[in-house]
Amino acid sequence: MIKLERVTKRYGNVIAVDDLSLEISDSCTCVLIGPSGCGKTTTLRLINRLADPDSGTVLVRGVDTRKLKPEDLRRSIGYAIQSVGLFPHLTVGANIGVVPSLLHWDKMRIKNRIEELLQLVGLPSNIYANKYPNELSGGEAQRVGVARALAADPPILLMDEPFGAVDPLTREKLQTEFLHIQRQLKKTIVLVTHDLDEAIRLADRIGVMKAGRIIQFDTPEAILSRPADDFVRGFVGTDRALKRLSRMIVKDFIKPVSSLRVGQAISEVRAAIGKQPSVWVTDEGGQPLGWLDREDAQHGKSIENSMVKINLSEIALNENSTLRVALSRMLGQGFRGLPVVDSAGRLIGEITLSDVEAATAQRES
């Protein structure tokens, strides 16, 4: 969908983008990452013709962008600029409505779209639509910037550090939301970030840039396990193994477990345990309550008396958590295995330290 062929862009003596080639396929999230001044923003601006290349070609949907009218090209590409750049004289709603109004949407449609988008970025429209940008926090402004880029539902999105100014918690939430939205909307996205964890989490492809060139363009897994050179290795850092875990989802590694229900007769229980050292115990609804050791089961009178109770929220893992969370939970709680629950809180399996180890080893090769 987006293709840069041997593109070079100079500003005076500075070579901002140097003989760069890049191909981003449809519905793909490509994240550009690299040190300050390496040409990330310039690369984005080459795509929507805010900058014209000195040499090379930029193709969008197979068409050389030089053949398109810049205004038309840009209206079909959402752009969230690095400095947010909300218009101070327009309300939040009017800011979001700019591109739709340039496209001559009717008023009602624009109004509905504004509400929808504010909802999407987590800013209730009854509170925020009529505020002015100077009444927003940095993070709120950034979210409005993202909503504005999405306004006309463009097939391509260019986002320059869209979550740069929000706190880690909100950022985490917005990233989750981003992934969720992207699964539905399937846009072609080029996103710039300084945050490697963000890149690993969001990207289908990561482009690591240095001095106007792309050093490595690959899947997050490949970037982590096979850094192309010392620069990428240094950039990825020594905790690559841990970072890789944040792309793996617990759901893919769980093993089914047998479990007991409170209220089952103790004789039944002994048979069920068999040779296992311990078994998870759930309530009638399937929510884990604790575990029962084999020895205690041999002497105990009932499950309730013999089991070890657990604090559900501290121990149980959600099936959508990352392996990184699982590992840190295991280390923090001193457990070799943790129960995994679905979104309703029902026990669906177990994940153990050796599973995590195996996952690491398997991708390392």
The residues of the shown chain that bind other proteins, judged by CB under 8 A, are: 48, 50, 70-76, 79, 81, 83-91, 98-99, 102, 132-135, 148
Two tokens at 86? 């909300």
Q: Which stretch binds ligand ATP (CB under 6 A): 38-46, 183-191, 226-234, 281-289?
A: 38-46
Residue 275 is encoded by which pair of tokens?
């040779």
Q: Are strands 188-193 and 29-33 parallel, antiparallel or unpaired?
A: parallel
Closest C-alpha to 156, from 44, 16, 39:
44
The DSSP annotation for 59-71 comes to EETTEEGGGS-HH
Tell me the two tokens of residue 363: 């991708």
With CB cut-offs between 5 and 8 Å by kind, which of ligand ATP, Mg ion, other proteins, none does residue 87 bind? other proteins
Of the pair 83, 119, the CB lying nearest ligand ATP is at 83
Please identify the residue of the shown chain whose CB is closest to the bound Mg ion: 41
Lookup result for tokens 């089961």: 297
User: What does 102 bind: other proteins, Mg ion, ligand ATP, none (CB cut-off 5 to 8 Å by kind)?
Assistant: other proteins
**Interstrand relation of 288-293 and 308-309 (parallel, antiparallel or unpaired):** antiparallel
Q: Which is nearer to ligand ATP, 14 or 308 (CB)?
A: 14
Please tell me whether residue 257 adopts helix, strand or coil conformation. coil
CA–CA separation, 156 vs 61, rounded Å? Answer: 10
Q: Tell which positions 63-82 bind ligand ATP, by CB under 6 A.
A: 82
Q: Are 215 and 209 in contact (CB under 8 A)?
A: yes
How many CB atoms are closer than 10 A to CB 239?
12
74 makes contact, choosing from other proteins, ligand ATP, Mg ion, none, with CB < 5 to 8 Å by partner type, with other proteins
Residue from 29, 42, 48, 259 touching ligand ATP (CB under 6 A): that is: 42
Q: Is 54 in the site for ligand ATP (CB under 6 A)?
A: no
- Tell whether residue 142 is a contact of Mg ion (CB under 5 A): no
User: CB-wise, 152 or 196, nearer to Mg ion?
Assistant: 196
Q: Nearer to ligand ATP by C-beta: 97 or 162?
A: 162
> What mask of x and - would describe binding to Mg ion in positions 35 to 74, judged by CB under 5 A?
------x---------------------------------
Per CB under 6 A, the list member of 24, 31, 33, 38 interacting with ligand ATP is 38
Q: Which does 106 bind (CB under 5 to 8 A by kind): Mg ion, other proteins, ligand ATP, none?
A: none
Pairing verdict, β 55-60 and 278-282: unpaired
The nearest distance, CB 126 to ligand ATP, in angstroms, is 35
Task: Give whichever of 34 and 290 is closer to ligand ATP, judged by the CB atom.
Answer: 34
Question: Which CB, 81 or 292, lies closer to Mg ion?
Answer: 81
| Cβ partners under 8 Å of residue 245, min gap 6 | 322, 323, 324, 326, 327, 356, 359, 360
Partner from other proteins, ligand ATP, Mg ion, none binding residue 85, C-beta < 5-8 Å depending on class: other proteins
CA 287, 290, 296, 302 torsion: positive or negative? negative
| Coil, helix or strand at residue 4 | strand
Residue 40 interacts with ligand ATP (CB under 6 A)? yes
Cβ atoms of 289 and 264 closer than 8 Å: no
The distance of Cα 278 from the centroid of its chain, to the nearest Å, equals 36
CB atoms within 10 A of CB 26: 12
Residue 29 vs 41, nearer CB to Mg ion: 41
Residues binding Mg ion (CB under 5 A): 41, 82
Q: Which residues bind ligand ATP (CB under 6 A)?
A: 11, 14, 16, 36-42, 82
